[in-house]
Structure 1
Amino acid sequence: MMRFIFDIDGTIAFDGLTIEESIKDLLLEYVKLGHEIVFASARSYRDCLKILGDQLNKHCLVTLNGGAIYRQGECLQSYPLDVETFQNLLEICHDNELAYFVDDPLNFSTYLSNKIPFIHSVDRTTSSKEISIEEMLHPVKMVIFVGDDSNDGLDAIKSLQQISKVDLAYHEHEGCLYINPLGVNKATSLKEVFGGEYVAFGNDQNDIAMFQSARKAIQIGNFKPLMAFADQIIEPGPGFSQRLKQVLDQSIEELME
């Protein structure tokens, strides 16, 4: 049995809203063969459900960049931000008019939400809901929009980088800082559940730690900072599911010998 870990956005979903049926069918085919499929995403559990669909969302989900772990709809573990640290982050955002999006294991809070690049993909049809920031008692992940390379944005990044007890990752294409508790990422949460025996598929900055811990790492696309950690690269686009199948079969053959 092989365990395959998939990031979602930019790895198997390319429009932020859907996964092609051919890809879903392919993953389910490997489940029927006895292999394990796991998803590790920056998305919340709430936002994984619809895009994965009724069959795939029953599998283990490592959400919020490792901040929460779900299996069969149950939250097995979550890792909240330090209370004082979170208040410092909020103060910087409000003082500088920086938009933010905060997730607890299920619900979310926003400030100046129209500036958040991924706001269109937030699923508001599930049992989760938008709550006030005062009700956000167990924040797990925070995304702060700092804009492009403007002076205000750069000054805000410098202020945020001074805060301890957090991991920060800047996603240049979104102009956003992704913030999790210090030492919490996809790799640490996967290790908590599986001990590190997996083949990883990803495409972006937040997949680096997962790639470093994987037996084999396959990159989707051409994000340069990830390439140094990838064993193989697959191009997205037409025929992607066929290329993915070839790599899955090759990995099984190589690692199960």
Structure 2
Amino acid sequence: MRVVFDIDGTLCFNGYSIDSVIVRALEQLKKSGHELIFASTRPIRDLLPVVEKIDYDALIGGNGSIISKNGQIQVTRSIKKESYHHILELIQRYQLAYIVDDEWDYSAKVSTEHPIYQQLDPNNLAKNVLITQIV
């Protein structure tokens, strides 16, 4: 059986790790032959540190827009180019804070005090690139 778990607020309550009791229960599911899949609004790179101690089968990130299976990341759904350029225009016009994720890298202009900043690429796996480099 495939078992899909949400991460934040379901398995992870501090934004960084999954309690060892839950990890042991997940290990038992895996040993029983179940396929473990984790899903999140986070991009794949930000899921990796949270699930690193678990033998999982697949990751679903970005609310389903990015998946990782067997270590291969694939974008399944992107924003249309016209919409993306409109969003960029609004960010620039109103000087908005933002985080824009690509397949792996990201572009961010957000306060270090913002709670999401602490979860943004915590293992320094990616690069914070110019927003114009993400297409």
Q: What TM-score, normalized to structure 1?
A: 0.49
Judge conservation of contact 2:74–2:103 (CA < 8 Å) in 1.
Answer: no
Task: Quote the offset at 1:117 in angstroms.
Answer: 3.3
Instruction: Confirm or deny that 1:112 pairs with 2:110.
Output: yes
May I ask how many residue pairs the two structures share in their alignment? Answer: 135
Residue 43 of structure 1 aligns with which residue? 42
| Secondary structure of residue in 2 paired with 1:123 | coil
Structure 1 residues 62-100: Cα deviation after superposition (integer angstroms, max 9, x where no partner): 111111111121024432211121111111122222211
Judge conservation of contact 2:58–2:67 (CA < 8 Å) in 1.
Answer: yes
Judge conservation of contact 1:6–1:12 (CA < 8 Å) in 2.
Answer: yes
| Secondary structure of residue in 2 paired with 1:120 | helix
Residue 74 of structure 1 aligns with which residue? 72
Cα distance in 2, alignment partners of residues 114 and 95 from structure 1: 22
Gaps of 5+ in 1: 138-257
| Secondary structure of residue in 2 paired with 1:55 | coil
- Cα distance change of structure 1 residues 113 and 133 upon mapping to structure 2, 3 Å threshold: farther
Structure 1 residues 178-226: Cα deviation after superposition (integer angstroms, max 9, x where no partner): xxxxxxxxxxxxxxxxxxxxxxxxxxxxxxxxxxxxxxxxxxxxxxxxx
Runs of 4+ aligned residues of structure 1 deviating over 6 Å after TM superposition are: none
Moved more, 123-132 or 14-23: 123-132
Which structure dedicates a bigger proportion of its chain to helix?
Answer: 1
- Indicate the RMSD between aligned Cα atoms, in angstroms: 1.7
Letter in 1 for 2:66: A
Residue 12 of structure 2 aligns with which residue? 13
Judge conservation of contact 1:78–1:105 (CA < 8 Å) in 2.
Answer: no
Task: Quote the offset at 1:17 in angstroms.
Answer: 0.9
Counterparts in 2 of 1:87-236, with a 5 A limit?
A: 87-114=85-112, 116-137=114-135
Letter in 2 for 1:25: R
Cα distance in 2, alignment partners of residues 86 and 74 from structure 1: 25
Cα distance in 1, alignment partners of residues 36 and 77 from structure 2: 23
Greater CA radius of gyration, 1 or 2? 1
- Cα distance change of structure 1 residues 113 and 80 upon mapping to structure 2, 3 Å threshold: farther
Judge conservation of contact 1:100–1:116 (CA < 8 Å) in 2.
Answer: no
Judge conservation of contact 2:107–2:129 (CA < 8 Å) in 1.
Answer: yes
